[in-house]
Structure 1
Amino acid sequence: MSEPDGPQPPYAYDLIAMGRLGVDLYPLRAGVPLAEVDAFGKFLGGSAANVAVAAARLGRRTALISRTGADPFGAYLHTELRGFGVDDRWVTPVPAYPTPLTFCEIFPPDDFPLYFYRRPKAPDLEIRPEELDLAAIRAARILWVTGTGLCEEPSRSATLAALAARERRGHTVFDLDWRPLFWGGEGGASGAGGRTGAAAVGVARPHYAAALRHATVAVGNLDECEVATGEREPEAAARALLAAGAELAVVKRGPDGVLALHRDGTRAEVPPVPVEVLNGLGAGDAFGGALCHGLLAGRPLPDVLRYANAAGALVASRLACSSAMPRPEEVEALLAGRVEAVRSDGYGMVGRPRPEAVRSEAHGREARGSEAYGSGTHGSEETRPAAREDERP
């Protein structure tokens, strides 16, 4: 089902991630509205970047394809990527646009509104097909791309070109990564779609279908699966992702854990890892990096998911995203039930293990509101009523 570790060409990366990169400015106090926050922590952020950091923390050789502004925040991100052990050779400046900033509010256990400053356009949407190192992309053991990379040109064409260059070799992962604001929508899928949610889904779905034709692995929460396939029931959504082209479908179900189906008939369903959530943003990215780590190691699918859940849970129990990504010994300690696994990430704020499953799912890069727990998700897309204004420069 997966290729185990073994000798690899010296130039091949374990993981190349492609997509969003920016600066996260997070409050240093939980439960305080942004209007009242007086101290922030500055962190590397963006889903693709966080996945690369997460895999690097687990000992994998990783690289990122992205872009920043030609500004001090861009210089900061290069320093951070190198410090985390992520190759930044394909992270290039775009003088016309500033490096994106993202603010959040922290209301544990499941409310983490995000405020994106990505106007007039985010540099990571200026990745161009002609600038891709297709030989390196083909040689990587895993390529990880995201739904956000499909929302505008030239990033859309570049993402599809990278996927096509893989010719379905190795593990080619499509992180469904639904951010309706980036597609002109206000809410999520289905009835939560808001005034323009359905229109945004309609625009996005054909591009998601094009990406799925090239992907061997699809990863997403229930909203994201519905955007991609029209199916929301987990089993039906997983089967629809397989029918669309994936060989492995990973469906993140918040407090109900994770379901994965493989085309060869393998099925795995694991519960979330219980922790006290501090900040669910980043839990899904930790899940993604650990998922890649497990697939590369050739572990049985249930073990891969349990390990990824634990990695996501650790990040959900901490303040930061990138700097909170766990090391192998921390994941193993949490799986063994040792309390010292859940510890501060250096900012004096930390959650604790819980005896029961408290919404702790940690799958997919930056938690998503109600799915920010111990198995991994994304960040809250319900960006408060003022979020449309907050997108403006």
Structure 2
Amino acid sequence: MTHELLTIGRISVDIYPNDIGVGLEDVQSFGKYLGGSPSNVAVAAARHGRRSGVITRTGDDPFGIYLHRELRKFKVDDAFVTPVPGLQTPATFCAIQPPHDFPLYFYGRFPTAPDLQIKAEELDLEAIKGAGIFWSTVTGLCQEPSRSAHLAAHEARPRTGLGEGQYTILDLDYRPMFWASEDEARAEVAKILPHVTVAIGNDKECAVAVGEGTPDEQADRLLAAGVEIAVVKLGPEGVMAKTRTERVVSAPVPVETVNGLGAGDSFGGAFCHGLLSGWPLAQILDYANAAGAIVASRVSCADAMPTPEEVTSLLAERGRLTPAGAAGTEAAASHAAVSEGATR
């Protein structure tokens, strides 16, 4: 199987409260979901019809069995997901206190986690070479042997330019609890960036990767490090993407936020879908923004990932253009035309 998207890194069981707006100490019941950013991105892309897979590790336990079952349910290839004897599948608890407070509590990741035990010699380098997009995160660089495995995977990838059909994406997903210092993280990111086509992160994550500065300064440093597309998330101002010849800003798509934790992963999966579809950068950003907004309006992450029809419908409702060839585009365009006529 040739994957259109192959991700590597974190997986866990997300334990999210059914009680909204209270601290974990007051929650009475929870739901469990597949979690872990690279795994969520693979699910998100699969919802857009892409052949996706994930390289990761679980514990040899019932939660590991559950994650395999969930990946298959979402049509994500789990052939490269194996258990690590002696370690437990991690669980991640979250409190949901909208619109801005979603603290995470990681269990089973210290001193290490199964997905940080991926070894370079275990990698299927041919599958990694052949994937349309290879996606990794900075978290995967925080500890050996995962660090060396990530570097080996990136070194195996063909170096292609924009529009040549293959992309290597680094999510600058920096989580300080997994690192000794920001300096350590910056040094490891510097080794990977020359192998990266696209880097995606918010202001803080970009600062860890390439230093403090304005979004444009950070994007320029990423480009100077070898990246072809630098994507800097601007919070309430949307997202900016920069290449050596183009600068695009996409305004946010307003929704009522319920849980903001999965929005970035939904953005990532939709961004991959847009890249593989060959859309213009501005349309990719709008589409990915809308996909992220939909998940922010829902409780879960993986289970909440939208279909193309849901994304194009939201874009149409907000008066945004829908990319040519996106599923549901004609219906969404018709809906937009009706809406526009009704407001005149």
| 1:112 corresponds to | 102
Report the counterpart of residue 129 of structure 1 in structure 2. 120
Answering whether residue 16 of structure 2 is matched by residue 26 of structure 1, we say: yes
Give the aligned residue type for 1:165. Answer: A
2:336 corresponds to: none
| 1:74 correspondence with 2:38 | no
What do the CA deviations read for 1:11-63 (whole angstroms, capped 9, x no partner)? 32100000100000000011111011110010000000000000000000000
Cα distance in 2, alignment partners of residues 21 and 294 from structure 1 = 24
**Percentage identity across paired residues of the two chains:** 61
Q: How does 1:260-271 map to 2 (within 5 A)?
A: 260-263=241-244, 265-271=245-251
| Structure 2 partner of 1:171 | 167
Q: Output the CA distance in 1 between the equivalents of 2:213 and 2:91.
A: 32
Shift of 1:266: 1.5
Question: Per chain length, whose mean CA-contact separation is higher, i.e. which structure has more relative contact order (CA < 8 Å, sep 6+)?
Answer: 1
Q: Distance in 2 between matches of 1:297 and 1:285?
A: 18
Give the letter aligned to residue 293 of structure 1: H
**Aligned residue for 2:41?**
51
C-alpha distance after superposition, 1:314-356 (max 9, x if no partner): 00000000000000100011001179xxxxxxxxxxxxxxxxx
Which of residues 309, 312, 317 is equivalent to 1:329?
309
Deviation sequence 1:168-220 (CA, Å, 0-9, x none)? 24100011110000003xxxxxxxxxxxxxxx101111100111111011000
Q: 2:178 aligns with which of 170, 182, 196?
A: 182
Give the 5 Å matches for 1:1-393. 11-117=1-107, 118-169=109-160, 170-184=166-180, 200-263=181-244, 265-337=245-317
Q: Residue 290 of structure 1 aligns to which amino acid in structure 2? A: A
- The one-letter amino acid paired with 1:201 is E
Q: Mean alpha-carbon deviation: is it higher for 167-176 or for 222-231?
A: 167-176
Tell me by how many angstroms 1:267 deviates: 1.3
Structure 2: which amino acid aligns with 1:28? N
Instruction: Give the Cα–Cα distance (whole angstroms) in 1 for the partners of residues 314 and 127 of structure 2.
Output: 35
> The residue matched to 1:89 in structure 2 has which SS?
coil
Q: In 2, Cα distance between the equivalents of 1:224 and 1:66?
A: 23
Please list every run of 5 or more consecutive structure 1 residues that lacks an aligned counterpart in the other structure.
1-10, 185-199, 340-393
Letter in 2 for 1:294: G
Asked if the contact 1:16–1:64 (Cα under 8 Å) also holds between the matched residues in 2, the reply is yes
Residues in 2 aligned to 1:156 and 1:121: alpha-carbon distance in whole angstroms: 13
Note if contact 1:24-1:101 (Cα within 8 Å) is conserved in structure 2: yes
SS of equivalent residue, structure 1 residue 160: helix
Tell me the equivalent position of 2:335. none
- Give SS of 1:213's match: helix
Local SS of the residue matching 2:78:
strand
Unaligned runs of 5+ in 2: 161-165, 320-344
Which runs of structure 1 show a deviation greater than 4 angstroms over 4 or more consecutive aligned residues?
none
Is the CA contact (8 Å cut-off) linking 1:285 and 1:312 kept in structure 2? yes
Specify the alignment match of 2:324 in structure 1: none
The answer to whether the 8 A contact 1:223-1:232 is kept is: no
Partner Cα separation in structure 1 for residue 94 and residue 168 of structure 2: 30
3-state SS, counterpart of residue 207 of structure 2: helix
Give the alignment's TM-score, normalised by structure 1: 0.79
Amino acid corresponding to residue 47 of structure 1 in structure 2:
S
Q: In the alignment, is the contact (CA less than 8 A) between 1:97 and 1:120 conserved in 2?
A: no
Distance 2:257 2:81 in 1: 32
**Superposed displacement of residue 245, structure 1:** 1.1
Query: Could you say if the C-alpha distance between residues 302 and 158 of structure 1 is closer, same or farther in structure 2, counting changes exceeding 3 Å?
Result: same
**Contact 2:44–2:302 at 8 Å: present in 1 too?**
yes
1:74-99 Cα offsets, whole Å, 9 max, x none, are 00000000000000000010012100
Contact 1:17 1:52 in 2 (8 A): yes
2:294 aligned counterpart, secondary structure: helix
Shift of 1:271: 0.6
Q: Name the aligned partner's letter for residue 145 of structure 1.
A: S
Paired letter, 2:113? A
- Tell me how far apart the structure 2 counterparts of residues 324 and 337 of structure 1 sit (CA, whole Å): 19
Amino acid at match of 2:183: G
**Do 2:253 and 2:318's aligned partners in 1 also have CA atoms closer than 8 Å?**
no
Aligned AA (2:196): A
Corresponding residue SS for 2:249: strand
Alpha-carbon separation, structure 2, partners of 1:158 and 1:120:
18
**Can you list the C-alpha shifts for 1:240-295, whole angstroms capped at 9, x where unaligned?**
110111000000011010000012x0111011000000000110000000000000
Compared CA separation, residues 242 and 338, structure 1 to 2 (3 A): closer
Q: Distance in 2 between matches of 1:166 and 1:217?
A: 13
SS at match of 1:64: strand
Contact 2:118 2:149 in 1 (8 A): yes
